[in-house]
A and B are shown apart, each in its own frame.
Chain A
Amino acid sequence: MHILSYANVKLGVRNLGWDNDPRLALLFSSPQPTTAMNIRNSKPWNLPESTATPEDDYLNRRKFLKAAGLSSGALIGGSIARAATGGFPSTKNENFLLESLEPTEFDLIAGYNNFYEFSYDKGEVQKLANQGWKTEPWTIEIAGHVDNPMKIDVNELIKKVGGIEQRVYRFRCVEAWSMVIPWDGFKLSALIDLVQPNSKAKFLKFTTFYDPESAPGQKGGSIDWPYEEGLTIEEARNELTLLATGIYGKPIPNQNGAPIRLVVPWKYGFKSIKSIVKIEFTSKQPMNTWQALQSREYGFYANVNPEVDHPRWSQSTERIIGSGFFSKRRDTLMFNGYEEQVAHMYKDLDLRRFY
């Protein structure tokens, strides 16, 4: 893949005269070999504040790229200027750093997206999600069996839960590919403490935005929009469960689920619902969109499990995004490597039946 990233540089990004932009240089250079000595320094998101690019520069760059006729694939963080949740400093949580894994390049995270609200085509989502879909201001509603129901602006919510932190998580798609993503966000449990669920609350039901005018994919297809997901309250309270509002220390790009999305790293990616407008505390297990669509292939739990195959492919290994044509797959870990933190929740569950 290194050859291809050089090709990208040659094609124009470097030649357009941004050689002195350290962020770009980091994003487009090939990954540094990591040794035990310099792991910290080689992390691309581990940048001093002085290297951050002012937002104006992003805007100018976008105009310039448009003028140069480059595809949106070359736009890095094209949505940043418009997303909500900017301006919160993110502190690194040292307990979730994944030192041994190389995080996925930002432009691959931002350019390879399953977001059927916009397109079935992973490469098209970035462009379509940045053509007038407004993710600011954004209100999220918390309802159901809670003492403190609320409708609250996302930025207000972040302030109320005490800000955001950075955690590096594995991300495993049910399609057998994986990334390593430095998320910024806050624990879902902080929100749960805020709204005070009562004893009837056993599950959380999450709902994505519904706006077919901005999201052309919602105009049709076989999916019953809006997209919905669910967790048990125990899963929602788990220390790993995150509401993410950023990636690599920047507001989350539209195509990655701006301005606020769920991140459940021990479950397949489709559980991590994007662009949430409503969280409802329910007494009954909610029906999630993919289960409604194909219950033989996708269940409610969707825990990453190398021993339970998808009917059409094996789940025992995964392709690492950005690793190139000839790379070998990596073994998929039980609960995506988070067995220690989550296995106790499923000790009485037949994982073959409740996939």
Chain B
Amino acid sequence: MNRFARILRNRWLIYLLLCSPIIFVFNPYILCDTEFRADPAKYLLEYVGLASTYIFAIVISLTPLRRIFPKSTIVNSLAFHRRPLGVSVFAYALLHFLIYYFYTGSWSEFVNDWEKLFILSGILAFMFLLLMAITSNNRMVRKLGSRNWKRLHRLAYIVLFLIIYHQATQEKTGFRETALIFTPVLALQCWRIILAGKASLDKRNASANQPKLD
């Protein structure tokens, strides 16, 4: 396992993995697929949207995973790549946004739908991802100071709920796909909150016990 963790540290491997959805889509099997040929804009729209969602689900789970399994080398290796992972969430969201323009076919149609909650949730999530992406380089971290930077990047949790809404309303019957992706994500977040609560309780107990020892 240690060896696997070491392989995961490789930056180029992660870059390749993050680009693989784009590389994969341009193969004859998909290009000749009836569903693709019928409505390529819709196919690609959903494809890159889902790629963005999956990577987001992974990156948002890294912090809780690190809290829960602090000694796991695999989790630590993945967490090492948080920045490229996060930026690629934005990159796929950007593609999703651009393809949406071609999907609607014209600027007026494009703007027309923004008032719908389904579309608005996606656009807001995209804006927040944009904010986080442009502040993701070292220079911006220094400029903002680590506390402000951290505060800004908590936007990710708002994005989490926006994406869940966006993904769930997109499904025509039930919420199967959304539940499959986000139940584990939310479970990890809950676990992390419980751990944090327990830690602060322990701390308080420890300090309450201290005078007695004196």
Contact = CB atoms under 8 A, between A and B. Distances in A.
Interface of A: 1, 4-5, 7-8, 11, 71, 73-74, 107-108, 111-112, 116, 120-123, 126, 177, 221-223, 293, 309, 311-314, 316-317, 319, 321-322, 324-329
A293 B173 contact: yes
B35 A111 contact: yes
B28 interface: yes
Contacts of A328: 105-106
A226 B34 CA distance: 27
Interface centre among A7, A313, A316 (most CB of B within 10 A): A313
Contacts of A11: 28, 32
Given A11-B28, A111-B38, A321-B39, A123 B173 contact: no
A324 B173 CA distance: 27
A112 B31 contact: no
Contacts of B41: 319, 325
Interface residues of B, number: 31
Lowest 6 CB-CB distances: which A-B pairs, in order?
Answer: A111-B34, A123-B35, A112-B38, A329-B105, A222-B174, A312-B118
B105 A71 contact: no
Interface in B123-154: none
Contacts of B38: 108, 111-112, 122, 177, 321-322
Contacts of A122: 35, 38
B191 interface: no
Contact of A7 (B28, B40, B109, B116): B28
A73 B36 CA distance: 11
Interface in B6-60: 28-29, 31-42, 44
B102 A313 contact: no
Nearest to A111: B34
Given A7-B28, A120-B172, A313-B116, A329 B39 contact: no
A317 B135 CA distance: 38
Contacts of A322: 37-38
A118 to B, nearest CB: 14
Given A5-B37, A313-B118, 5 more contacts: A4-B36, A73-B33, A112-B39, A123-B33, A321-B38
Contacts of B105: 317, 319, 327-329
Contacts of B112: 314, 316
Given A4-B31, A293-B173, A327-B105, A312 B37 contact: no
Contacts of B169: 312
Secondary structure dominating the interface of B: helix
Contact of B40 (A120, A324, A329): A324
A333 B40 CA distance: 23
11 contacts: A73-B32, A116-B173, A177-B39, A177-B42, A221-B173, A222-B173, A223-B173, A319-B39, A319-B42, A328-B106, A329-B105
B173 A1 contact: no
B34 A73 contact: yes
Nearest to B33: A73
A325 B44 contact: yes
Contacts, number: 93
A322 B102 CA distance: 15
Contacts of A121: 35
A7 B31 contact: yes
A313 B42 contact: no
A73 B28 CA distance: 12
A327 B40 CA distance: 10
Nearest to A174: B172
Contacts of A293: 173
Contact of A4 (B32, B44, B172): B32
B202 interface: no
A316 B116 CA distance: 14
Contacts of A123: 33-35
Contact of B29 (A71, A107, A317): A71
A86 B121 CA distance: 50
B174 A112 contact: no
B104 interface: yes
Contacts of B29: 71
Contacts of B34: 73, 107-108, 111-112, 123, 126
B193 to A, nearest CB: 31
B173 A4 contact: no
Contact of B32 (A8, A321, A327): A8
A311 B116 contact: yes
Contacts of B39: 112, 177, 319, 321
A53 B107 CA distance: 46
A74 B118 CA distance: 35
